Chains A and B, each alone.
Chain A
Amino acid sequence: MADVKQARKAVIARILEGEGKTAQAQRRAAFDDAELSEPLRTLVHKVATHAHDVSTHDIAAARESGLSEDEIFEIVVCAAIGQATRQHDTALAALDAATNGK
């Protein structure tokens, strides 16, 4: 599945480095689940660690802080892909360790 590795790189490059309504630094912070102020810190952390607990209130709080829906959309997408990427990278490192990289 060499193509899927390329596809994953393309998705990550697009959301972090391409055009968006939010600044690249903010998208990167959401991806990393780090360096955000409230209420985004709570929303992003929930998306990363227990997304089933995200509430309508969490989204409303982000909206009330002055973010547009487009900005919230981008931030949540970055948070989701960031956590999926960390888990994927950890698993691949474990696989490398188990097979000596072969």
Chain B
Amino acid sequence: MRLEILDRGHAFGAKVLFALIRLVSRQPVVDAVKLVMYRPDFYGTPMKKLVHEAMRGPSAWSVGDRELMAAFVSKANECEFCIKAHGAVAAKAYGDGTKVVAVLADLETAPVDESLRATLRMLGKLVREGAVDADDMRAVLAAGASREQIEDALAVCFAFDTTNRLANAFEFFVPGPAGFEAGAKFLLARGYQ
């Protein structure tokens, strides 16, 4: 973590919570949690509400699909922490890690529905190029995704376009598999609130 305040500058209540997290999960507190708990009134509290709504609110996409979108967007943004964190949640939500690995390796040959594939393709272009056009959206609609599903996918993309940038700029520490496994278990059970 490049800013000392994000590592150790938290209010007393947050430090107590971190001690509890370490005790229960038997893992260090991940930097994503430290970020949203630092001066939460400025960023963490309103952002957690947004992320929870995008990732767990009502949607035609499953929780696994949305976590996969998060991992996929994170890959396009080259954010190692978020790829691993949300790849792990997607694998747990699907009960199948092979799909996540396949999508992250090669979207075009991965065993997913065409509507999901077209949606991920559009999100990848949006992230890499910073823009998409009406033809890109028509392709997603033609593949079977509804307008509402595209809006839901864009909400996920907004959340991770933000989070990936912060994780990379502040240089989140990337823990080992046990850390991500504990995080995935928590995020699947409790969400982001």
Residues of A within 8 A of B164 (CB): 51
A87 and B39 form a contact (CB under 8 A): no
Main secondary structure of the interface of B (DSSP, over half): helix
A36: interface (CB < 8 Å)? no
**Given the contacts A56-B171, A69-B5, A77 and B42 also touching, CB distance less than 8 Å:** yes
**Given the contacts A54-B169, A79-B165, A83-B165, A4 and B53 also touching, CB distance less than 8 Å:** yes
Q: What's the Cα separation between A52 and B78 when bound, in Å?
A: 6
In this complex, how many residues of chain A approach chain B with their Cβ under 8 Å: the count is 46
Residues of B within 8 A of A4 (CB): 50, 53-54, 57, 152, 155
B168: interface (CB < 8 Å)? yes
Residues of B within 8 A of A94 (CB): 131-134, 136-137
Closest residue of chain A to B162, judged by CB? Answer: A84
Closest residue of chain A to B47, judged by CB? Answer: A11
A-B contacts, CB under 8 A, total: 153
Residues of A within 8 A of B9 (CB): 69
In this complex, how many residues of chain B approach chain A with their Cβ under 8 Å: the count is 54
Q: Which of A35-76 contact B (CB under 8 A)?
A: 43, 46-49, 51-52, 54, 56, 59, 69-70, 72-74, 76
Residues of B within 8 A of A91 (CB): 122, 126, 131-132, 137, 154, 157
The residue that A86 contacts in the complex, of B2, B49, B130, with Cβ under 8 A, is B130
Q: Which of B106-131 contact A (CB under 8 A)?
A: 122, 126-127, 130-131
The residue that A7 contacts in the complex, of B41, B46, B157, B170, with Cβ under 8 A, is B46
Closest residue of chain B to A93, judged by CB? Answer: B134
The residue that B49 contacts in the complex, of A10, A15, A81, A98, with Cβ under 8 A, is A10
Residues of B within 8 A of A92 (CB): 151, 154
B143: interface (CB < 8 Å)? no
Question: Chain B interface (Cβ within 8 Å of chain A)?
Answer: 2-6, 9, 38-39, 41-43, 46-47, 49-50, 53-54, 57-59, 77-79, 122, 126-127, 130-138, 141, 147-148, 150-152, 154-155, 157-158, 161-162, 164-166, 168-171
